[in-house]
Structure 1
């Protein structure tokens, strides 16, 4: 018979153990030691277990928990421990047979029940320690978002940030201590909210309204969304590049010659599990890539300041590579030796020399060679005419 786990991760609501199912209450009663935030520990009745307050920052509590290995321990978490909770972090540090999770209704479930919102079409974000800009991809008029925030001042920060983005007309439902005796729900607009007496824990229901810029759901975001010095893969060409890169959930992109970071940032916008590393030799441009990523909710973008191929050493292997700048024979030769079979490579060329380079590699290795010629209507005296951009040659191939 399998040995019972020594560690129980118990989801706790604001009503304390009273609302827990029998299995969760039994886990608390059987524990020799209970760890949790002081707020959670204060909800417990008199129990024989020793109580240990989980320290801040959260990572400092993991060695304490590891030192208790083998003893009956219960760790308290808010609601569902695996939905923006402590459960996933704890589970990474212990073997599957060591722990058992006993979830309670999440704050998102309780909030949806109060507001009548369908969770399957409502974005749910935990922003206790994450930047508010992670909301940026979700800001579209009529969209609904549930957000967990740290405390009352953080709600004020959220309202101010929304107003600065042009969404001050958004409606906020501020929900405090959901499911407990202190539960309170209030409604206000982002532009008029008074966060003075909001108490932790807080979930905010956000119904987006306003005239701020909305990030498209398709490839080819407007160029104006990215700060740049002219070194940017322009919107139509970027859309073709991302189509050729063919992002798949969970994949990692190397964006070589990142420029403004537009390709890698759009790549990350395709799915929350995407990863990307932008490699840029110019320090000012590398800093601009970081700023663009932070502003557009892609703060997980890694920016490496350096020149490829040397700057590629030690990076996690990619499933796709985009070369937007710095194309050379040496770079292609290095990548061909470095990349594993199945890696997708897309390279752009503008000069005759780099175009000839891609033509040679296409002849040797196959793939698709595409010449992109675009022209845009521009004023021509009192009328209009076509102004052609430099042609771009795109080579896309699977290693």
Structure 2
């Protein structure tokens, strides 16, 4: 990982030492020696209070918010024997991740302790490699929702003492009231405490703010099944009916081919279904939805929160937004679900798509289909047409009702396109 030159560290590598709830007594000799050598130690007030007087370093608590203050803070300590105290494993949702991102891994020496997840799995007898982990620290708790599946084991890193109660409420409201909860407080320390119950019956008052919650998901009969796979039921979405239907949505996501960490631009977001299901495929996937109508933008945000991907960015009309913001991070894939006949829209999208990026466009009118044929002739790619029929009642019988046929163009931008 390369360092940002503006935040480059000129001194020796900064030791980042993890400490658990057992404090100084639980640290190995090497970590203790490193802390004794520091002249200044940065950390949270709780972490710094765990150190004995024999650690003579001046102790400074992190400012809040941290990121904006970090450049000035580090610049003020250039030339000092600076150290950082972190909770457990600094690279497990910890400050070590932030420091590595802004300084580069070469500017750090990390001394980890067991993470809260490792300690929780040790107490519960759970295999850590088979457990989903969701952090509620500085993140919406709604991000838990895509992880919910029958029997799934999940660890939730709590933001504070109130997280277990909010988690129980979230589970009750989404058809998982029968799920079991185990709150593990102050793991590894002298004040360790474990409380168990179900989401349906959870009435425990807030306890220690340093806690992690273990969930065994148990769904209620009759709930709508919502998995990470594309093609969620149409009824999972609110809105005015401007929605890529489930069958076509699944085929569209297959063509877009999301991978962890990639970003999608969803042009003509409607109800946000393609952006939402792209983001649900993996916690690291990101999406930006462009929608002209304000009421639909509000609906996209509401649907995204309901379906557990509240981080989706919602913007206005695509050409206006792309013209105004030339520095919007480039997408890995673009979906054109609306506005195909809008003059200049394809050109804006194609010019911002990097080489190797994918573009998928769906057309339901003759005019928009003509655009796809022209773009395919100019840029290559493949064309497909889908005709979906759904069984519906006809008196005492069942008949097949056709949906609108959809023509789909998908293309990967090649190196020659960048030179056009």
Q: Which residue of 2 aligns with 1:330?
A: 344
Output aligned runs, 1:203-214, within 5 Å. Answer: 203-211=212-220, 212-214=223-225
Q: CA deviation at 1:324?
A: 0.6
- Kindly provide the CA deviation profile for residues 142-174 of structure 1, in whole angstroms up to 9, marking residues without a partner as x: 000011112222211111111111211111111
Residues 173 and 201 of structure 1: CA distance in aligned 2, closer, same or farther (over 3 Å):
same
Whether 2:364 is the aligned partner of 1:350: answer yes
Residues 164 and 48 of structure 1: CA distance in aligned 2, closer, same or farther (over 3 Å):
same
- Kindly provide the CA deviation profile for residues 11-32 of structure 1, in whole angstroms up to 9, marking residues without a partner as x: 0001112111222111111111
Q: Which residue of 2 aligns with 1:80?
A: 89
CA contact (8 A) 2:131 2:154 kept: yes
Q: Which residue of 1 aligns with 2:280?
A: 269
Residues 339 and 58 of structure 1: CA distance in aligned 2, closer, same or farther (over 3 Å):
closer
Q: Which residue of 1 aligns with 2:203?
A: 194
Q: Which residue of 1 aligns with 2:303?
A: 292
Whether 2:112 is the aligned partner of 1:103: answer yes
Q: CA deviation at 1:60?
A: 6.1
Q: Which residue of 2 aligns with 1:64?
A: 73
State which drifts further: 60-69 or 320-329: 60-69
Q: Which residue of 2 aligns with 1:312?
A: 322
State which drifts further: 326-335 or 386-395: 326-335
CA contact (8 A) 1:250 1:274 kept: yes
Q: CA deviation at 1:4?
A: 7.6
Whether 2:229 is the aligned partner of 1:218: answer yes
Q: Distance in 2 between matches of 1:387 and 1:294?
A: 32
Q: Distance in 2 between matches of 1:320 and 1:61?
A: 34
- Kindly provide the CA deviation profile for residues 57-89 of structure 1, in whole angstroms up to 9, marking residues without a partner as x: 333662334411221122111100111111111
Q: 1:32 aligns with which of 19, 36, 39?
A: 39
Output aligned runs, 1:8-47, within 5 Å. Answer: 8-46=15-53, 47=55
State which drifts further: 313-322 or 129-138: 313-322
Unpaired segments ≥5 residues, structure 2: 1-9, 414-420
Q: CA deviation at 1:362?
A: 2.4
Q: Which residue of 2 aligns with 1:7?
A: 14
CA contact (8 A) 2:269 2:291 kept: yes
Q: Distance in 1 between matches of 2:228 and 2:13?
A: 45
Q: Which residue of 2 aligns with 1:339?
A: 353
Residues 95 and 128 of structure 1: CA distance in aligned 2, closer, same or farther (over 3 Å):
closer
Q: 1:251 aligns with which of 239, 243, 262?
A: 262
Q: Distance in 2 between matches of 1:140 and 1:95?
A: 37
Counting matched residue pairs gives 396
**TM-score, L = length of structure 2:** 0.90
**TM-score, L = length of structure 1:** 0.94
Unpaired segments ≥5 residues, structure 1: none
Q: CA deviation at 1:44?
A: 1.0
Q: Distance in 2 between matches of 1:254 and 1:61?
A: 31
State which drifts further: 290-299 or 115-124: 290-299
- Alignment RMSD: 1.8
Residues 17 and 60 of structure 1: CA distance in aligned 2, closer, same or farther (over 3 Å):
farther
The alignment partner of 1:76 has SS state of strand
CA contact (8 A) 1:5 1:97 kept: no
State which drifts further: 360-369 or 85-94: 360-369
Q: Distance in 2 between matches of 1:18 and 1:336?
A: 59
Q: Which residue of 1 aligns with 2:168?
A: 159
Q: 1:303 aligns with which of 314, 322, 344?
A: 314
Q: Distance in 2 between matches of 1:9 and 1:197?
A: 31
Q: 1:373 aligns with which of 379, 387, 392?
A: 387
The alignment partner of 1:205 has SS state of strand
CA contact (8 A) 2:162 2:206 kept: no
Whether 2:184 is the aligned partner of 1:171: answer no
CA contact (8 A) 2:43 2:86 kept: yes
Q: CA deviation at 1:220?
A: 0.9
